[in-house]
Amino acid sequence: MKTAFKTIALIGKYKNPETRDQLLTLAQFLTGHHLNVFMEEDTALHSNIPDYRTLAIDKIGKNSDLAIVLGGDGTMLTAARALIGDEIPLVGINRGHFGFLTDLSAEQMLDGITNILAGKFDLEKRMLLFAKVLRDGQVVSQGYVLNDVVVSRGSMASLIELEVSIDGHFVHKQRSDGLIVATPTGTTAYSLSAGGPILHPSLDAIALVPICPHALSNRPIAINSASKIEITLLRGEDTRVHLDGQLNVAFHEGDQVLVQRADKTITLLHPLGHNHYDMLRKKLHWG
């Protein structure tokens, strides 16, 4: 097989026994075509796959040409976050529920991967956000985000009060369960269930979506992706900031979270002819 991808890393949702069988099938298929295969080390360990060379997930980008991810959107998020900055493309094989980030079905993965290796794919860059949590002017946590930054109340039943500014301009105060700042990719995640708009991935935009606001006039808005967002906690106990649902930090009264577009992107490879609207219609069961 002639392909630009000579070394391929496999990353799997290893808590599912069926995923192990598919990982082995895919690895055997790739090695049978004389391609170099690495197994992500935790995937190999927990799936009991000892016969392939392994790499830590944060080493994959520098030692592979392509990463294939078997799992759901959560597995894809983990892989994408670990590979930020390496410019390695990702392909998703859906083993989850909705799979907005994972295009290929497990049943058709070999045909799909064959086409991608042959150069029959659509390449898409997805924007990222970068968030910093400040306490007394000092950074206490920071990180990249593919889906969303979420400020939310914790175990306490009471609402929290937030102040939101964009590009240094005061926008509003809100009492709510929290606020979601979502990339276009993230508008089909938590933002969607909170009533936010679905943004096409090609849009240079960010969505701000209140979570159960006390005032019905607090509505979701979409802003230019060049905007700088500042959120201050005015009142609230046990409040937290979550980055992609995978990193979270305590958010105290007076703390701020600063969010802006990152200078890095994530590269996804889709089957040739992939259409975002077709995907939405299928996943969301539109007419």
> What are the catalytic residues?
73
Residue 271 burial class via C-beta count within 10 angstroms: exposed 0-12, middle 13-18, buried 19 and up: middle
Whether 197 and 222 have beta carbons less than 8 Å apart is answered as yes
Q: Where are the alpha helices (DSSP H) in 171-213?
A: 190-193
Encoded tokens for 203: 């849009």
Bridge partner list, 205 = 224
Encoded tokens for 36: 């170099």
Query: Residue 177: phi, psi to the nearest 5?
Result: -80, -10
Bridge partner list, 192 = none
In angstroms, the CA 242 to CA 267 distance is 23
Which residue from 147, 137, 135 is spatially nearest to 262, judged by alpha carbons? 147
